[in-house]
């Protein structure tokens, strides 16, 4: 069984490159293997850590694999949600309705040997549009209690558990 550890190595994954006046640009993303839910068999989804997204967004093709493990807020809480927590828009394709839910996840290291688990608040999209993979956003619990490190030039990224001193 993988261990919970203080440092989770992520992966700056590059899979296309082009040279512009001698400088290389890539399609590149920070990949995070994530287990959604807690039951067997595990629901394993390669996700993208995207601190530029305010809150984690999960496409229906993913969250419909574990609907019973999502904790939905009660009606009063839902009624009080502002519009920015009911609909999101993106460069990928107009406005998309969503529901807010609490989702247990485990974020694994790129070696799959260790992980940390948490419950996040996420936006569960009602259609895929161009959203093909979960985007692990800045808020909602993904990064809470963790320090996110990125050394771009060395292609290294990791999450580190915040110690009492920091």
Distance in Å, CB of 80 to another protein, minimum: 30
Say if residues 9 and 158 touch (Cβ distance below 8 Å): yes
Is 90 or 118 the residue whose CB approaches another protein more closely? Answer: 90
Q: What are phi and psi of 76, to 5 degrees?
A: -65, -40
Is 58 or 100 the residue whose CB approaches another protein more closely? Answer: 58
Distance in Å, CB of 41 to another protein, minimum: 4
Q: Which residues bind another protein (CB under 8 A)?
A: 1-2, 13-16, 27, 33, 40-44, 46, 59-62, 64-65, 90-92, 108, 112, 128, 130, 132-133
Which uninterrupted H or E stretch holds 75?
helix 75-79
**Which tokens is 1 given?**
């069984």
Is 89 or 145 the residue whose CB approaches another protein more closely? Answer: 89
Distance in Å, CB of 44 to another protein, minimum: 5
Cα angle 64-81-95, degrees, rounded to a multiple of 5: 60
Say if residues 120 and 100 touch (Cβ distance below 8 Å): no
**Which tokens is 70 given?**
């999502």
Is 73 or 128 the residue whose CB approaches another protein more closely? Answer: 128
**Which tokens is 24 given?**
């290389």
Distance in Å, CB of 121 to another protein, minimum: 22
């Amino acid at each position: 069984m993988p261990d919970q550890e203080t440092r989770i190595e992520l992966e700056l994954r590059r899979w296309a490159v082009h040279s512009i006046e001698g400088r290389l640009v890539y399609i590149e993303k920070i990949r995070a293997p994530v287990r959604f839910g807690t039951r067997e068999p595990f629901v394993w989804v390669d996700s993208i850590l995207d601190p530029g997204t305010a809150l984690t967004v999960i496409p229906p093709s993913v969250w419909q694999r574990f609907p019973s493990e999502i904790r939905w807020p009660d009606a009063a809480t839902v009624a009080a949600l502002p519009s920015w927590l009911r609909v999101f828009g993106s460069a990928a394709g107009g406005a998309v309705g969503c529901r807010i839910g609490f989702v247990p996840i485990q974020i694994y290291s790129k070696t799959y040997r260790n992980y940390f688990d948490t419950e996040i608040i996420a936006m569960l999209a009602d259609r895929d549009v161009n959203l093909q993979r979960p985007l692990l956003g800045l808020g909602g619990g993904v990064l809470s209690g963790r320090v996110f490190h990125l050394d771009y030039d060395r292609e290294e990224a990791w999450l580190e558990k915040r110690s009492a001193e920091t």
